[in-house]
Chain A
Amino acid sequence: MMHAVKIAPWVKLPRLALVLVAVAGLGLAGCDDNGGDPKIQIGANPVLPALRQYLIPPIRIAKVVAWGKETPTLPQGLQVHALATGFEHPRSLYVLPNGDVLVVESNGPKAPVSRPKDIITGWVQWFAGAKAKDANRITLLRGANGDGTPELRTVFLDHLNSPFGVALIGHDLYVANTDAIVRYPYQDGQTSITAAGTKLTDLPGGPIDHHWTKSLLASPDGSKLYVGVGSNSNITENGIGAEYERAAIWEVDRASGAHRIFASGIRNPTGLQWEPETGKLWAIANERDEIGPDLVPDYLTSVQDGGFYGWPYSYYGQHLDPRVQPQRPDLVATAIAPDYALSSHVAPLGVAMYTGTDLPANYRGGAFVSEHGSWDRSPLNGYKVVFVPFTSGKPSGPAQDVVTGFLDANNHARGRPVGLAVDRTGGLLIADDVGDTVWRVSSNNPRSASNN
């Protein structure tokens, strides 16, 4: 190094010029790489292009604008209105048996800076409106069916820790905080819970907590809870040790709090539902980033007990990801390809199997999926709620756009759909964490709809 230390004089201008040319070149490399038609990546057999790696991966963020007087766009036969507004980052929804709607207002814990890149990522998230303060509470809405403002709006539960999933079994209300499932006593009609919660089990939380949301679903008999636990990284860049019991769906015994890994290799299972016809567990999942605008498609899949779905070693079955070292060919050999691709980077964050009767008959038995929208792909993808038709317990056709207009004509985001729920009378509720609104979609002709 003595030699290198002695290299002395530098001229500022030529180097700056070189650096500028290089940066411009890198920028272009990021821009001319547009994603293809998402339609060829929807369904059981998505077209998967070759894996690419970038100096600067494509980033395209929708600038946030206000809804103003606009509302989302719907197809014929459906209407939408704002059930309630003025939330702080409403992230998920849960409907209690008496029809009360719980709105979980939550945002992730502060991400640690482990690499220079994390500083840049922080700016990107701020620009996309994802840096709202974490309200850490659940708000209750009552009497809001149909026409506008709810009669009652109360703080149902406060001082939570980045909550996401909620499940009621009998008089036990379970809240999945980012680091634990907590049980609260709930009486019918209660509008606020002040009792202290009891921890059922810890969940993988900080200090990194990359994918912080913990989705929650009770088993039909009420004996088990299923928890979607996302990975602690994009693709193991925080070390494989940080992924212990993550990227998995947990089965938690309600009586003892003991858990086992029900399924693994699912990068970020953000929503869980029972398929009504077969009674099978289905999940939506967010797949990995930075290997191209069309890799890897996010998906909707049935979840097999003991199944391994590839992450981090492979995607869509046996497609290897070279970014993971050491590899695990033994696991890859068993990797199950998901059932239904939703196309790349749409970021599904809510799923609702529709068993209501208010919406037209063609929506019954299928799955609504909310697509929060891409940030690392151009053109933008997602930013809508789609419907995946099901027949005999399996997806049976292309996903249809149902709720759109989250992006305006300039590709600015007025809102981004997150949690979904079906209310007691069959309306579809959508949490919008950028518009800070809960939307309700209903049939605009309820009588004819029920005759369909």
Chain B
Amino acid sequence: MKHATIMETTLIGDANLRLTTRPRGRPIHKILVSFSAAYFAGALVTDLVYWQIPDVLWERFSVWLITAGLIMAGLAAIAYVIDLAGGRRIDSPAWPRAVGYAIAVLFSLVNAFVHSRDGYTAVVPTGLMLSGLVIVVLLLTAWVGRALLANRHRVGG
């Protein structure tokens, strides 16, 4: 029990630390990026279902989810500019995460074209692989971003 308590304290401490680094609230683009990532993840799920049950309904879910994700990514780009202009604090280092997200969106754009093919090969195998790859890239980006952020906090206090 003692051990667990210590862990909790550590977490709370960590959360407090973050709050202090964000004086002007959550940037709008972050919310939009969350939406796009959720759409892309949804597309992976519907692709997996289509792979097992090749009913066109699932392929249509996928292509609309990917399209919605891309629209959200476009809006996120606009919001990012607004966030910058509005002086909202952007987490740094920004570049590694921006590049990671850009790669994921690029793969998703290609994936939208693959998913616009007619029939089974709209998903299997290329579309399914791209949907998976997008999620892998997003997860890696998140992990790298967190690691860098943690590192910065450790170094810079």
Question: Which one, B92, B114, B142, contacts A9 given CB within 8 A?
Answer: B92
Smallest beta-carbon distance A60→chain B, Å: 18
A223 CB-CB contact with B under 8 Å: no
Q: A15-B105, A22-B109, A323-B121 are in contact. Are A7 and B33 (CB under 8 A)?
A: yes
Which residues of chain B from 28 to 47 have a CB within 8 Å of any chain A CB? 29-30, 33-34, 37-38, 41
Q: A15-B98, A115-B64 are in contact. Are A9 and B80 (CB under 8 A)?
A: yes
A15 near B101: Cβ-Cβ < 8 Å: yes
B102 CB-CB contact with A under 8 Å: yes
Give every chain A residue within 8 A of B33 (Cβ-Cβ): 5, 7-8, 10
B118 near A4: Cβ-Cβ < 8 Å: no
Give every chain B residue within 8 A of A116 (Cβ-Cβ): 63-64, 67, 112, 116
Smallest beta-carbon distance A215→chain B, Å: 24
Smallest beta-carbon distance A272→chain B, Å: 26
Smallest beta-carbon distance A26→chain B, Å: 7
Chain B 109-146: CB-based contact to A (< 8 A → 1; otherwise 0)? 11011101111111010000000000100110111011
Give every chain A residue within 8 A of B59 (Cβ-Cβ): 237
Smallest beta-carbon distance B61→chain A, Å: 10
Give every chain A residue within 8 A of B67 (Cβ-Cβ): 116
A235 CB-CB contact with B under 8 Å: yes
Give every chain A residue within 8 A of B17 (Cβ-Cβ): none
Main secondary structure, interface of A, reads: loop
Question: Which one, B41, B92, B99, B120, contacts A14 given CB within 8 A?
Answer: B99
Which residues of chain A from 1 to 34 have a CB within 8 Å of any chain B CB? 1, 3-12, 14-16, 18-19, 22-23, 26
Give every chain B residue within 8 A of A3 (Cβ-Cβ): 138-139, 142-143, 146
Number of A positions contacting B (CB below 8 A)? 43
Measured CA separation A54–B116 after assembly (Å): 10
Give every chain B residue within 8 A of A9 (Cβ-Cβ): 27, 29-30, 80, 90-92, 94, 97-98
* Closest Cβ neighbor of B54 among chain A residues: A325
Give every chain B residue within 8 A of A361 (Cβ-Cβ): none
B120 near A323: Cβ-Cβ < 8 Å: yes
Q: A10-B80, A55-B113 are in contact. Are A1 and B90 (CB under 8 A)?
A: no
Chain B 65-107: CB-based contact to A (< 8 A → 1; otherwise 0)? 0010000000011101100000000111011011111110110
Give every chain A residue within 8 A of B112 (Cβ-Cβ): 116
Q: A10-B101, A53-B121 are in contact. Are A1 and B80 (CB under 8 A)?
A: no
* Closest Cβ neighbor of A14 among chain B residues: B102
B138 near A7: Cβ-Cβ < 8 Å: yes
Measured CA separation A392–B143 after assembly (Å): 75
Give every chain A residue within 8 A of B139 (Cβ-Cβ): 3-4
* Closest Cβ neighbor of B29 among chain A residues: A10
| Residue among A4, A56, A321 having the largest count of chain B Cβ atoms under 10 Å | A4
A10 near B41: Cβ-Cβ < 8 Å: no
Measured CA separation A114–B57 after assembly (Å): 10
Which residues of A line the B interface, CB within 8 A?
A: 1, 3-12, 14-16, 18-19, 22-23, 26, 53-56, 114-117, 233-239, 289-290, 312, 321-326
19 A-B pairs (CB sep. < 8 Å): A6-B142, A8-B30, A8-B97, A9-B90, A9-B98, A10-B101, A12-B78, A15-B77, A15-B106, A26-B113, A54-B117, A116-B64, A235-B118, A235-B119, A236-B118, A289-B118, A321-B119, A325-B54, A325-B120
